[in-house]
Amino acid sequence: MSERLGLGVADGESRWIGVRRHQAILAIAGLGLVGEWVTQVHRVLIELVLGAALFSCAAPTNDGLTVGERVRIAIEFGVRSRWTSIRATIHHDVVTIVAHGDATTRGFELQHRGRLDLSGRDQQNALALEQFADALGASDDTQHFSLHVRSSPNGVATLLAVPADVSAPSGWMEKSTLAMDAVSACGDENAGWLLERWTYVRDVAGVTRVLRVRDFTAVPDGHVLLERLQFASPTLDVVVHVDVVGGVRANRLAARAVHRVGSDDVTTQAAGFRRTAQAARTLERLRQRESLVVEGAALMRIAVFVVIRAASLRQLRRDVEVVTRTAIESGLRCEPGLGRQSSWYCAQLPGAPGW
């Protein structure tokens, strides 16, 4: 534990011999059908076509998804309604949001002390949030909170959305109206509608595109992860959603991850494959994580969204291009969210009603 290995590939991206689980299943099924067609005396063409289609669905694309995942997203986009209802109400500082699901949350605003904070208060706020997450992790239930950095021509506001029965750490002032402002689809009313398109959603305030940061591993050491991204556009939100896994379940998940990766490593070496440096670092990182969780650190599942707002579709496309280029230059990889804009918009709202 003398050296922290930093960020690694997300558990959801875990691979065995270079492929994801569903890729292996599709490829094996496709090869099996093609092989059966080749060996049969009375051949049925449908087996060859179906086998080739399954094998093709396992092929990866440039945004990290496979062809099969893209086909599934396109089918779901084609059959569901283009309209999504969103409602947001506030009662006794508790905000209730209904959008693909329902969530209750309280909003707190960071007490800014200026952009250049020479007193080190930014580091203190980050440490307070870390301790806040560790405290939530002591519970047996999974808790959720989110951090919303909202940029607009009038300035920057930072919102912390926490469960209704939880208090924010020091340095945050309760302001649930800021959580209401984050639901721009409702406008000045308590309800509104989203019109979903393939690459954006439209509401009463204009058009919005939601991107998701998929990978942080290329960020150079010592660089702040999302700093440049916040200044890529004057009208965007950088949203970090955090699921804090309950203590008992966190210990079980951390131990299971070490066992799974360690077993895969032993199996691949026994099969004659050489152990790569990446595999060794991944196993060491998981062992470090297990030790930290046992010592009381929170096990967190994190999703980072970038919400780009614009008055017109032309301006939105320009801003998306700038934000995407800035992300690449910063070592971040963003998913475009094609065909999933409505669900991603709801997922990034305070309280995560779309999860």
Hey, where are the domains in the chain?
A: 18-78, 84-247+297-347
Q: Tell me what pLDDT residue 2 has.
A: 46
Q: d(Cα 351, Cα 89) in Å, to the nearest integer? A: 13
Burial 216-240 (b: 16+ CB within 10 A, else e): beebeeeeebbeebbebbebbbbbb
E strands, 248-330, in order: 299-310
pLDDT at residue 188 in the model? 63
Q: Judge whether 173 and 112 are in contact, CB under 8 Å.
A: no
Cα angle 132-135-136, degrees, rounded to a multiple of 5:
90
Would you state the pLDDT for residue 270? 63
> Who's near 327: CB < 8 A, 6+ residues apart?
211, 213, 229, 232, 306, 333, 334
Distances (CA, A) of 315 to 114, 194, 319: 29, 19, 6
Give residue 17's pLDDT: 54
pTM, entire model: 0.84
Taking 50 as the pLDDT cut, the residues of the chain under it are 1-2, 115-118
For residue range 57-89, what is the model confidence (pLDDT) as tens digits?
888 887 778 888 899 999 999 999 999 999 988
Dihedrals phi, psi of 215, to nearest 5 degrees: -145, 130
pLDDT at residue 269 in the model: 64
Architecture of domain 84-247+297-347: 3-Layer(aba) Sandwich (3.40)
* Cα angle value 153/340/82 (rounded, 5°): 90
The upper half-sphere exposure of residue 221, i.e. CA atoms within 13 Å in the direction of its Cβ, equals 3
| Cβ(110)–Cβ(171) below 8 Å | yes
**Per-residue DSSP letter, 69:** H
Among 96, 342, 42, CA closest to 196: 342
Report whether 47 contacts 72 (CB < 8 A): no
Instruction: Output the pLDDT for position 160.
Output: 92
